[in-house]
Amino acid sequence: MHEPLLGEDVSVAEGIVRVLEDAGIDHVFGMPGGLTLPIFDALYDHTDTVRTVLVREETRAGVMAEVYGRLTGRPGVAMGQGAFLTTASVGAIEAHLSSSPMLLFGCLSDSPPYSLHGPYQAGTGAPGTWDAPNLFGAMTKATYVPRTPEEAVHSVQLAIKTATSGEPGPVAVLFGARSLRGKVGPDLRPTLYRRGAEQPKVPVGIDTAALSRAAELLARAERPVIIAGGGVRNAGAFEDLHRVASVLGAAVATSANGKSAIAETDPLAVGVYGNFGTPLANAVVGAADVVLVVGSKLGPTDTANENPALLDPRRQQLVHIDVEPSNLSWSFPADVALVGDARTVLSHLAEELGGRTSAADRDHRLAALNEAVAEHGRFEQPELSSTAVPVLPQRVIGDLSRTLPSNAIVCCDAGENRIFMTHYFQSTGANTFVQPAGVGAMGYAIPGALAAKLAFPDRPAIGLCGDGGFGIGMNGLMTAREEHIPITVVVLNNQALGWVYHGQRDRPIASSFAPYDHAAIARSMGIEGIRVERPEEVAPAIGRAVASDVPTVIDVVTSLDETFVKVLSPLAR
C-alpha cells in the first residue's frame, strides 16, 4: 500500500521540506530572502535531517549544489530570492553540461494582486518585469512555476524526479507568491504519495543483440581501448568499468570530465586524452582498433577538435554507451550503440565478455600497453619534482599526488591551473577528482571543496585554484569558518590570469594582479593560512593542512614561466 505524503494539514513550506526529507535530500545551500523565507523557516524544524548552509553569495550555493549532486547522485538544493538566484547560474549551467542532479529553488518575487502595477523585483515575464521562467528554462533540464499551494508541493516532487531520471541535470522551481500561502494536507488533489529516496525512473531495457555485437567486437579487437566520461561517475559505475577493462586487458583513458573514473595509479589507467591529454592516453586511443566510449559526448576538446589521428570512425570501430539516446553517435557514428546507464550496461557487458576473451588475448593487450608506457611514460615528468624557485605549479601538483591520502577529493578551478591538474595530477582513487569541465567557470574550487567535505565528512577535501579563482571564490572561506567545514585550499599564486596572460603572448592586457598574501587574508578571516615560497615547503604544508580540523589556505608563490601551451597536445595545435 502506498502511503500519502501528508497525514495532516501543514503549511506549504512544511510540505515542501517533507518532500525533500522523503527523497533523502539532506542539504540546502543558499541565502534567505523574499518569498523563500517561509521555506527557510520550515527548515528550522528539520535540522536533524536537512542541513541548511548559509553562503555569502548565491554563486557559491549553485556550485555547492552541483558538486554535491555530482559526487553523491542526490540533488543538492541551491535556494535564493528572485533575481539573486540567477547568480547560481554557474552551478546550474555546469550541472546541465556535466549531467549533475541539482535543484534550484527561487521565487518570482511577485506581489499579487499588485503584480501588474509598477512591479518591484518581479520576474513573472509580464510587461515591465523580467522573465524568470524563460531565463532559468534556458539553463535547466526543466523549470516549474507553481501558482497554487498544491502545485508548489507537487512541483518539488516532479523536480526531484526530473533531476534524477535518465540523464541527470538541474531543475528549477520558481514559486509564485500565492503558491506559498495557505495549507496543504491529506485532502490535497492531486493526492501526493511518499516516493522515498529512490525516485522512479523510466526503465531502459538493454538491447541484448547489440550487447552481444559489442562484446564480439571488443573480444576480437587487437587493441581495444575504453574512454570513460562523466557518465561513469553519474552512474557510480567505477567497479563495473574496472571489471570490463580487466576482462579485456584494455587501457582506460578518460575525458576531462571523467578524470578519476578509474584511479590513475591503476596499471590500466593512461590518464586524460584530448587537447590537454597525456601523451600516453592520446597514443593509446589513436592506436586503438575498437573504442568503447562510456558516458561521454565526445566533445571537441576531448577529441582534439576531431583530429582523425586520435579518433576516426573510418579506421576504428566505436561502441558507445550512454543513458541519453541523443548523445549516441552525436559526434561520431557508432558501430554499436547501447542505451542505458553506465553501471547497468557495463555489468551486463562484463558478463558477455567473460567467455569470449582468453588469458592469452589479455596478456597480448597488456604487453602492448606496457610497451606504450615505456615509450610515452605515465605521470613521471621531471617538473613534478622540480626544485626551481619560484615553485613550479607542477611541483605543487606532484606533491599533492604524493602526499594526499587515496580517498581525498580534489576540486580544481577553471583556468591554467585546471589544465595543469588535468594533465599532471595523478588521482589515486575512483571518484576523487572534480572540475568544471562543462562550463569552465572560475571560483569553482572553494565551494566545490566545501560540498565535497559535506558529502563525505570523513574524507579530506582540497580546493586547488589560481589567484584569480581565489579572488572570486574566497567568500566561501567565510562559510567554511561559520559552518565548521575543514577544507584545504591550495592557491597557485603567479600574480596573473595564467590562461589569459599566456594566451595574449606579447600583448598582455587586463591579466596581471598586484602581489597578495592569500595566507594573510585567510588568517584575517579567522582561519589558518600558510605561505609557501620554496618547493621543499609544499608537502609539509599539505600534510599539516589536511591533518588540521580547521579550514586552511596554502598560498604558494608559483612561477609564471610555466604555460598551458606546454601541455597542449600536438594533435590540437
Q: Which amino acid is at 353?
A: L
Q: Which CATH number characterizes residue 459's domain?
A: 3.40.50.970
Q: What is the pLDDT of residue 197?
A: 59
Is residue 274 located within the same domain as residue 420?
A: no
Q: What is the Cα–Cα distance from 559 to 573, expressed in whole angstroms? A: 24
SS3 content of the chain, % helix, strand, coil (to 5): 40, 15, 40
- Yes or no: say if 223 and 368 are a contact pair by the CB < 8 Å rule: yes
**Residues whose CB falls within 8 Å of the CB of residue 37, separated by 6 or more in sequence, listed in order:** none
Note the pLDDT of residue 115.
84
With 0-12 / 13-18 / 19 or more C-beta atoms within 10 angstroms meaning exposed / middle / buried, residue 383 is middle
The reply to whether 296 falls in a domain is yes
Asked whether residue 18 falls in the same domain as residue 158, the answer is yes
Hey, what's the cell of 275? 587537447
Closest CA to 252 of 210, 217, 214, 296: 296
Q: Is 252 helix (H, G, I), strand (E, B) or coil?
A: strand
Share of the chain above pLDDT 70, in %: 98
The Cα 63–Cα 45 span in angstroms is: 26
**How does DSSP assign 309-367, residue by residue?**
TT--TTTSEEEEEESSGGGTTSSS--SEEEES-HHHHHHHHHHHHHTT--HHHHHHHHH
pLDDT of residue 354: 87
pLDDT digits (tens, 9 = 90+) for 479-494: 999 999 999 999 999 9
- Pairwise CA distance, residues 167 & 141, whole Å: 9
pLDDT averaged over every residue in the chain = 95
Pair 44, 165 in one domain:
yes
State the pLDDT at residue 199. 52
Q: Same structural domain for residues 435 and 556? A: yes
Reply yes or no on whether the pLDDT at 192 is more than 60.
yes
> Does residue 506 belong to any structural domain of this protein?
yes
> Residue 133, class by beta-carbon neighbours within 10 Å (0-12 exposed, 13-18 middle, 19+ buried)?
middle
Cα 241 to Cα 245: distance, rounded to the nearest angstrom: 6
Q: Are residues 97 and 213 in the same domain?
A: no
The parent domain of residue 20 ranges over 10-184
Q: What does the pLDDT look like over 332-375, one tens digit per residue? A: 999 999 999 999 999 999 999 988 989 999 999 999 999 999 99
At 202, the pLDDT band (50, 70, 90 cuts) reads: very low
Contacts of 458 (CB under 8 A, 6+ apart): none
What's the CATH code of the domain at 240?
Answer: 3.40.50.1220
Mean pLDDT on 57-62: 97
Among candidate residues 328, 344, 376, the one where a domain is terminated: 376
Lowest mean pLDDT among 1-5, 267-271, 377-381, 437-441: 1-5
Residue 573: what pLDDT? Answer: 84
Of 345, 360, 376, the domain-final residue: 376
Q: What is the model's pLDDT at position 203?
A: 47
Q: At 429, list the grid cell.
A: 582513487
Residue 362, classified by CB atoms within 10 Å of its CB into exposed (0-12), middle (13-18) or buried (19+), is middle
Domain annotation covers residue 559: yes
The predicted-structure confidence for 218-252, as pLDDT tens digits, reads as follows: 999 999 999 999 999 999 999 999 999 999 999 99
Position 572 in a domain: no
Q: Does residue 557 form part of some domain?
A: yes
Q: Which positions ≥6 away from 246 have C-beta within 8 Å?
A: 268
Residues 534 and 441 reside in one and the same domain: yes
Q: How far apart are CA 111 and CA 73, in angstroms?
A: 36
CA–centroid distance for 506 within its chain: 35
Specify if 536 maps to a domain: yes
Q: In the prediction, which pLDDT does 64 show?
A: 98
175 and 239 belong to one structural domain: no
In this structure, the answer to whether residues 520 and 395 fall within a common structural domain is yes
Cα dist from 330 to 298, 325, 326, 401, 511, whole Å: 8, 9, 7, 35, 37
The answer to whether residues 292 and 227 touch, using CB atoms and an 8 Å cutoff, is: yes
Side chain identity at 163, as an amino acid letter? A
Report whether pLDDT(110) > 70. Answer: yes
Q: Specify whether 371 is located in the same domain as 410.
A: no
| Strand bridging mode 552-557 / 290-294 | unpaired
Q: Is the pLDDT of residue 198 over 70?
A: no
Number of domains in the chain: 3
Cα torsion for 207, 209, 215, 219, to the nearest 10°?
-170
If asked whether residues 369 and 388 sit together in one domain, one would say no
* Residue 573 resides in a domain: no
> Looking at 339, 361, 376, which one is the last position of a domain?
376
Neighbours of 3 (CB within 10 A): 9
203 within domain boundaries: no
518 lies in the same domain as 392: yes
The single residue listed with the C-alpha cell 531565463 is 135
Euclidean distance between CA atoms 110 and 119, whole angstroms: 8
Give a three-class secondary structure readout of 22-50. HCCCCEEEECCCHHHHHHHHHHHHHCCCC
Do 35 and 168 fall into the same domain? yes
Helices assigned H by DSSP within 165-316: 208-220, 230-235, 238-248, 279-287
Beta strands at 461-466 and 528-532: parallel, antiparallel or unpaired: unpaired
